[in-house]
Amino acid sequence: MSTKTRFEQWMAAVDAAISRRTFLTSDDLADQPYRAWFDDGMSPEEAADETLSNEGWFDNGLFD
């Protein structure tokens, strides 16, 4: 049985937060500085918000 690193657990939470809104994961979107965000203490929810913002999801009124 493999154990996930803290970063892998954090990324799984980021993907879950993205997926709840878009039915996509980080693999489906442009690369983001996830490791830097993790190291800076950003929460998975904040990272999901930043990712979707960077991808323009908030610009089109989908998340008003």
Q: DSSP secondary structure string, the chain?
A: -----HHHHHHHHHHHHHHHHHS--GGGS----HHHHHHTT--HHHHHHHHHHHTTTTTTTTT-
Average pLDDT along the chain? 90
Rounded to two decimals, the pTM is: 0.85
Residue 64, pLDDT above cutoff 60: no
pLDDT at 59: 75
Residue 63, pLDDT above cutoff 70: no
pLDDT in tens, 13-42: 999 999 999 999 999 999 999 999 999 999
pLDDT at 54: 94
